[in-house]
Chains A and B, each alone.
Chain A
Amino acid sequence: MEFEPVIGLEIHVELKTKSKMFSNGPVLFGAEPNTLVVPLDMGFPGTMPIVNKEAVIYAIRVSNALHMKIDHELHFDRKNYFYSDLPKGYQITQNLRPIGSDGYLEIEVDGKTKRINIERLHMEEDTCKQLHFNTFTLLDYNRAGTPLVEIVSRPDIRSGEEAMKYVEKIRSIVVFSEVSDGKMEEGSLRCDVNISLREKGTEPFGTKVEIKNINSISHIQRAVDFEIARQSKILNEGGTIAQETRRYDDAKRETILMRVKTDAVDYKYFPEPNITPIALSDEFVEDAIKNCPELADSKKVRYMNEYGLNEYDASQLLIDKDLSNYYDELTKYSKQYKLLANWVNVDINGYLNKNNITVLNFSLKPQELASLVEMVAKNTISSNQAKEIFNKMISDNLTALEAKKALGISEQISDNEFIIKVINEVLDEFPNSIVDYKEGKGRALGFMIGQVMKKTQGKVNPKLTNDLLLEELKKR
């Protein structure tokens, strides 16, 4: 029997605000345990939630990027359950009225565009972090209360690849809009996948299995594909799928049973009585959107349509938001878009990889790199010289001009009139070489260029000289 996978994703994104969702506890990574805690974060009696403006702005930005309807009135609800990592015994979330609803995003699969519909985006707070040891668990409340948005897709995804592309796209959106680090490995983007299979061509959904704790983008595809295969096998053998929660183990390349779900948990939602409805003005929502940093899709269009880059170069620039920002800075100082893109994608990227740093720690100022690229563009230096200068600029912390001077590289002469004058002097002095050339003796051309170089102490641009010499020879 042929089955069709029905896949929906729930993605939690940790927002990189300075303070928490409902308290002014600081949000930072890597601090000592329990040093970023204010009373609300630990659920001390009498503390009250106060909604963080920046978190709302971020939620609006992501909602907008996902083409969602944005609720101009904020409502929060309580999700009631007990768990070791939940300080208050409930989580404040948005159940009835999520800030974003009914959106979509588009992914490219096999050269075709596919739309994945998104049901909702809501704001909530993170739980505390648990550190598990052999016989006990320690609680670190630093993370408790960190703002989250949860993005819930419709079950429109049909394969591991689509799932991966979807998460990649979400990740790109939250990273480029600068609302999150979007690092799955560090847990700032977390992904739960719901998968069921149904007989192809039929409507009803099969039993849903949830896969939790997938901690890298590449694992998503593998986990989903494994799970599709696992469920297909069971169904083909006449078995039934149990409603359960599984996790993905990349070492074993398989999903592993965590727990069988009995009846669905009843979270006993009700409106949060400590947060009155919050009206967002049109202006507030518009400003949040207007001030959102440019997203990858829009940059790509700009790079291709305005800057004339090809798709490959444009996409390469957009793999890393900070790299593309660096590129955008470069374009403020030089219009050599293609050349700049090559420098970023090849030279800078190579340098960063070799030194294992990010562009944020890259010392070269865009303005300086742009002036180097301009020199190349004007043919005043060769590209090999440019690379030498590039390395010198970084190693000695110099400007392009300083580095060039330090390396003793003098400017190439690219003045056509001057070069033609010298060429004709050489042609007049060595008429035999013209004859040799016309008889097809290749060495003659090299000899004549050598003579031009000699006369100009090698300052002329070799390629230009070559081209001009060929022109002049035609005239003889």
Chain B
Amino acid sequence: MKNYRNLTIKELHELLVKKEVTPLELTKEALELAKKDTNNAIEYLMEKEALEIASNLKEPEVNNPLWGIPFIIKDNMSTKDVPTTASSNILNGYVPLFDATVVTKLKEAHAVPICKATLDELAMGGTGTTGHLGTTYNPYDRSHKHLVGGSSCGSAALVADGVAPLALASDTGDSTRKPASYAGLVGFKPTWSRISRFGLFPFAPSLDTIGFFTRSVLDSAYTLNVLAGRDLNDSTSSTKEVEDYTRLLNEPIKGKKIAIIKEINEATSDKTLLDLFAKTVKELENKGAEVHYVSVSRHLLETLFPTYFVISCAEATSNNANLDGVKFGPAYDGATYQEVMTKARTKGFSELIKRRFVIGSYALMRENQNELFLRAQKNRRRIVEEINKILEEYDLIYTIAAPSVAPTFDNASDKLSDEYLIADNHLVIGNFTGLPSITIPVGFENDLPLGVNIMGKAFHEAEVLQLANKIEEITGLYGLVAKEGK
């Protein structure tokens, strides 16, 4: 069989249109690769569904780049009749009654779902080590020493390992954009409310955004064209008109005003990364972009993580209160309803999740709200105002995505250092502000990928994709997949 594992959606689409390959062949290859997955990335293989859908796709749709394209679904998205656990034992055996809107839309575009991908439990983690299947590995390191990042670890690992050119993900802090950096992928989180969240298991709805992984910027534009738009099942989804997100990709960037936040680079110690970043800046300037360093108070940047932690844990403890073993999930006996629920929740949640719930709940308590939850919400406003001020003068903000290549599992970062608080957590700015934010590969270090990030104005996805595409042209890094394992 021909090998399609490193092709982009665009490249596959051309082959499909020319009938050099059929959706069924692509689907079979994807399923085969998924079965051989060595990264511990898969929750559930949708073999039956995939083959059925693919075998019904006969006549290529020339103007629909997603026709017949295999895709992966993060397992915190509801899929009708397909088990969905969000990688938490409390949802073992749960079979949803409806499809998430993003799943419906991709199916309607005749893309082919291959599998449900694992994640950090309930999407509440950044390492890909906390799901109920255990650790998910970075396919760029077959010795399994490096993490792929989370929470969308399974989605990232599967696209990076060539299983499919597209994976749905979600992004509450950086759950799409950080793993994209570690896995050499394009990871896009559009504007909050641009894509319906109906069917996404909520972590922190005021920050949650559907995102996705692709192997090129163009593929991300294609995907957004399908996923963006108002949904009556999600009243927060934007009524703003959907545009053709590919429309600016090949426009010149001459005169574009790009800001670089000085403090983020200063908190980054990886020389290779900073050099690669600087090189792209130079090239952008050569193409006529106006790139300037701007300053955001270091103190404010140091508060990003605690602000995020308090807000997200508080919202999460409430969102997951429906998980009680009564209506779905493993059920237990008990003398009282409290005992029934307590057993389900004690056995169903991992320790990490419980700790986060206690922290979130503590932040919401009457006597603590002012100092914790409300203070965090106020600080969120401060951060958002600060960033929006930059975007009054600039079109886009360009940063490193993560301070290094994917860390090893045994790496323990100092949770109070600037490298951690700023360089490792700045992507959450995109969630606080709700602004569109994309990570793309910028190079390699010791055969592991490094990424950069672009953030733009609300609903200016086309502009964000435009700059991302320029950088992709500069680096030539697209269609990346890890070398095949043995």
Contacts and interface: CB of A to CB of B under 8 A. Distances in A.
**Closest 4 interchain pairs by CB?**
A89-B321, A43-B322, A268-B364, A273-B205
A82 B318 contact: no
A269 to B, nearest CB: 8
A165 interface: no
Given A80-B364, A270-B314, 9 more contacts: A45-B201, A46-B197, A49-B235, A80-B317, A89-B318, A89-B320, A268-B365, A273-B205, A274-B202
B337 A46 contact: no
A301 interface: no
B235 A266 contact: no
Interface stretch (B94-102, B144-152, B415-423): B94-102
A395 interface: no
Interface residues on A, range: 20 to 34
B318 A46 contact: no
A84 B326 CA distance: 9
Interface string A257-280: 000000000101110011110000
B452 interface: no
A90 B318 CA distance: 7
Contacts of B318: 78, 80, 89-90, 268, 270
A39 B97 contact: yes
Contact of A273 (B315, B337, B364): B315
Interface string A74-92: 0000101010100111100
Nearest to A84: B337
A51 B327 CA distance: 24
B96 A46 contact: yes
A275 B197 CA distance: 12
B328 interface: yes
Nearest to A275: B235
Interface of A: 39, 42-51, 78, 80, 82, 84, 87-90, 137, 139, 266, 268-270, 273-276
A410 to B, nearest CB: 66
A42 B337 contact: no
Given A89-B318, A90-B318, A276-B236, A42 B327 contact: yes
Nearest to A267: B366
Given A39-B97, A270-B318, A44 B204 contact: no
Nearest to B235: A50
A46 B78 contact: yes
A240 to B, nearest CB: 26
Contacts of B77: 46
A49 B197 CA distance: 12
Given A268-B364, A273-B206, A274-B236, A46 B200 contact: yes
A139 B320 CA distance: 20
B94 to A, nearest CB: 8
Contact of A46 (B201, B317, B326): B201
B310 to A, nearest CB: 11
A352 B135 CA distance: 73
B86 A45 contact: yes
Contact of B322 (A45, A48, A49): A45
A44 B328 contact: yes
Interface in B210-245: 232-236
A46 B198 contact: yes
A271 to B, nearest CB: 8
A270 B323 CA distance: 19
B233 A50 contact: yes
Contacts of A84: 326, 337
Nearest to A47: B198
B327 A44 contact: yes
A269 B326 CA distance: 24
Contacts of A48: 197-198, 233-236
A44 B97 contact: yes
Contacts of A268: 318, 361, 364-366, 369
Contacts of B197: 46, 48
A96 to B, nearest CB: 12
Contacts of A45: 78, 84, 86, 91, 94, 96, 201-202, 322-323
Contacts of B315: 270, 273
A443 B323 CA distance: 93
Interface string B36-70: 00000000000000000000000000000000000
Interface string B234-267: 1110000000000000000000000000000000
Contact of B98 (A39, A43, A87): A39
A51 B236 CA distance: 11
Given A90-B321, A273-B205, A46 B235 contact: no
A182 to B, nearest CB: 30
A270 B199 contact: no
B391 interface: no
Given A46-B77, A48-B233, A268-B365, A137 B337 contact: yes
7 contacts: A46-B198, A48-B234, A48-B235, A273-B204, A273-B205, A273-B206, A275-B236
A45 B323 CA distance: 8
A137 B366 CA distance: 32
A59 B365 CA distance: 30
